[in-house]
Structure 1
Amino acid sequence: MLTGSHAINMDSKGRMSIPTRIRESLTASCEGRLVLTAHTEERCLLVYPEPAWQEKLPTIERLPMLDPAARRIQRLWIGYATPVEMDGNGRILVPPTLRTYAGLEKKLMLVGLGNKMELWDEERWQELLEEPVTSQISPELQSLTF
C-alpha cells in the first residue's frame, strides 16, 4: 500500500531518491521495478510498481481506436510509459521527456495513492491543494463517508 505525501529533491541529472518507507515496500513487491508515465488529466507523473502497471495495461490497450478521447489516453499513458529501476541507493532516473511534461524542477512531491503514486512539482502540488473543488460531485463521491 503506497500512502503518504513525501517532499523530495531531484538532482540536475533527473535522479530522485524514493523515501525509505516506500522503497522498502517497493523492493518487496516489485524488486524496485517501476513504470513512470504521464497523467492524462493533470501535469504530473504516475508511478506504478511494475506488476500494477502490467495489470492496467491491457485495459488501456483495448480502448476503442475510433474514440478521440481513448486515443489521447493511449498516447499519453502508454506513449510516455518508461520502465525504471531503483539503484542500490533507492534512486530512480526521471527521463527528460517526463520531467518536461510534468514541469518537474528540483523540489518534488511524491504522493501515494494506494496501488500507485503521483509525482508533482512541489509548487504545482501546493497550487492544486489551494484550488477549491468546483466540479459536480459524482454519486459515488456523494455516498462516500469517512
Structure 2
Amino acid sequence: MFRGTYSVSLDAKGRLAIPARFREHLQSSDVSRLVFTKDPDHCLALYPEPEWILIEQKLRQLPSLKQSVRNLKRLLIGNAHDVDIDAQGRVLLPLKLREYAGLDKRVAMVGQVDRIEVWNEDTWNARCEEWQESIDLDDLTADADLGSLVI
C-alpha cells in the first residue's frame, strides 16, 4: 500500500529514486517492474506491474464505441512505459512523460494506495491548496458511502 508524500530530486538523466517506504512495499510484494503512464490531471501515474495488468483488464472491458473511452485508453495505454528499478532504487522516466507532467528538478511522489502519482512539486503544492478549499464536508457527510470517512 502506497501512502504519504515524498519530495525527491530528478537527476540530470531523468532518473527518480523511489522513496524507501515505497521500495519496501514493492520488495515485500516481489515487484521489480513498474509502469508509468499519463494521468488526466497532468501528473504521472506509476503502477506496480500487477496493478497495471488489472487496469488494462478493466480498460479492455469498457465499450470502445464511446469516444471518451477510446480517448482514455489512448491516454493511458498509449503512453504506458514499462520501467525496471535499478540497483540504487531508481527508475528512468521517459522524456515525453517528464515533459507532459512538467517535471524538472523537484518532484512530489504521492502514494495513492495502489499507485504512486508523480507531480512537479510546485504544481502539487498549489493543487493541494485548491483541493483543500474545494472540499465540501456537508456534501461528503450527505453521501452514505463517504460519510463514515469524515472525522
TM above 0.5 = yes
CA drift of 1:141 comes to: 3.6
CA drift of 1:64 comes to: 1.5
Unaligned runs of 5+ in 2: none
Structure with greater helix share of residues:
2
The 1-side partners of 2:24 and 2:7 are apart by 17
Using the size of structure 2 for normalisation, the TM-score is 0.88
Aligned AA (2:101): A
Where does structure 1 differ by over 6 angstroms across 4 or more consecutive aligned residues? Answer: none
Q: Which residue of 1 is the match for residue 70 of structure 2?
A: 71
Using the size of structure 1 for normalisation, the TM-score is 0.91
Q: Which residue of 2 is the match for residue 96 of structure 1?
A: 95
Q: Which residue of 2 is the match for residue 144 of structure 1?
A: 149
Q: Please give the root-mean-square deviation of Cα atoms over the aligned residues, in Å.
A: 1.8
Give the 3-state SS of the residue equivalent to 1:31 in structure 2: coil
The 2-side partners of 1:24 and 1:144 are apart by 27
Q: Which residue of 2 is the match for residue 34 of structure 1?
A: 34
Considering only CA atoms, is the larger Rg found in Structure 1 or Structure 2?
2
Superimposed CA distance per residue, residues 5-39 of structure 1 (whole angstroms, 9 cap, x where no aligned partner): 00000012110101112112112214321111111
Q: Which residue of 2 is the match for residue 52 of structure 1?
A: 51
Unaligned runs of 5+ in 1: none
> After the TM superposition, which of the residue ranges 62-71 and 118-127 deviates more from structure 2?
62-71
* Identity score, percent: 40
CA drift of 1:142 comes to: 4.6
The 2-side partners of 1:60 and 1:112 are apart by 22
Distance 1:143 1:123, change over 3 A: same
CA drift of 1:143 comes to: 5.2
Superimposed CA distance per residue, residues 33-57 of structure 1 (whole angstroms, 9 cap, x where no aligned partner): 11111112x0100110111111121
Give the 3-state SS of the residue equivalent to 2:2 in structure 1: coil
Q: How many residue pairs were aligned?
A: 145
